[in-house]
Structure 1
Amino acid sequence: MYPIHENETGSFQELARSNDVQFGQLSYLKIAPQCSRGNHYHKRKEEWFCCLHGKCEMELTDIRSNSSRSITMNSSKREFVKVNPFENHIITNLDSKTNCELLIIISEEYDESDPDTFRIEEPVN
């Protein structure tokens, strides 16, 4: 996480540098109060999520090793969470009244003919 530089006019913070991420697509995700999004994994793509507004929980499970981790993200602690290939990920908005908004950097552009998005029920091969 890069430091926040604050003064009386506001604040500035770097979120990522070119050596931090492989860029293919920049996306914006909004999750309604107490709803979840995701619950899928990718075989090739890496994704980096940053919470811009609100508070959410990201649950990640490596489908090959079954190891898991849970990360609480919120807009007051702006940092990226990296999701690796084969990590099933689901994000839940923890707020009951406001939307959660996230910025996502994805390592490759979305291709409708080859989306690289799989549900747990689908084969890993």
Structure 2
Amino acid sequence: MYPIHENETGLFQELARPKDVKFGQISLLIINSACSRGGHYHTRKEEWFCCIHGRCRLDLINVDSNAREEVILDESKREFVKVEPFWSHTLTNLSDARPCDLIIVVSEEFNESDPDTLKTE
């Protein structure tokens, strides 16, 4: 995590540098309270998730080995978590009464004719 620079005017923090991510597009994802998004994987895209407001759980399942991981993303620890290809990912908002906002950096632009998004069975 990069340092937080805070003073009386507010706060500044770097979230990622070129060595951290491959840039294709940047997206904003908002997950409503007690809801989940995702349930899919990619064969070539890499994604980096950063929680900027709220708290959520990132459930990861490797589609080849069935290995499982769970990561908590929280606004108090703003850092990117990388999801590799062939890892199914689902994000669940853990907040009772507020949305969870995330920034997502994807390694390639979304292409409707070749979305590289496969639903988890």
Shorter-chain TM-score bucket reads over 0.9
**Which residue identity is paired with 2:24?**
G
> What are the residue-to-residue correspondences of 1:25-36 with 2, within 5 Å?
25-36=25-36
- In structure 2, the gaps of 5 or more residues are none
Alignment RMSD, CA only?
Answer: 0.7
> What are the residue-to-residue correspondences of 1:13-32 with 2, within 5 Å?
13-32=13-32
Deviations 1:24-66 (Å, cap 9, x if unpaired)?
0100000010000000000000000000110000000111111
**Which residue identity is paired with 1:80?**
F
**Structure 1 residue 116: deviation in Å?**
0.2
> What are the residue-to-residue correspondences of 1:1-125 with 2, within 5 Å?
1-121=1-121
CA distance in 1, matches of 2:63, 2:16: 27
**Structure 1 residue 10: deviation in Å?**
1.5
TM (norm. structure 2) is 0.97
**Structure 1 residue 3: deviation in Å?**
1.1
CA distance in 2, matches of 1:33, 1:59: 17
Structure with higher strand content: 2
Question: Hey, which bits of structure 1, 4+ residues long, moved more than 2 A?
Answer: none
Percent identity between matched residues is: 60
CA distance in 1, matches of 2:23, 2:11: 25
**Structure 1 residue 7: deviation in Å?**
1.7
- In structure 1, the gaps of 5 or more residues are none
**Residue range with higher mean Cα deviation, 85-94 or 66-75:** 66-75
**Which residue identity is paired with 2:83?**
V
**Residue range with higher mean Cα deviation, 107-116 or 62-71:** 62-71
**Structure 1 residue 119: deviation in Å?**
1.2
**Which residue identity is paired with 1:101?**
D
**Structure 1 residue 120: deviation in Å?**
2.1
**Structure 1 residue 8: deviation in Å?**
2.0
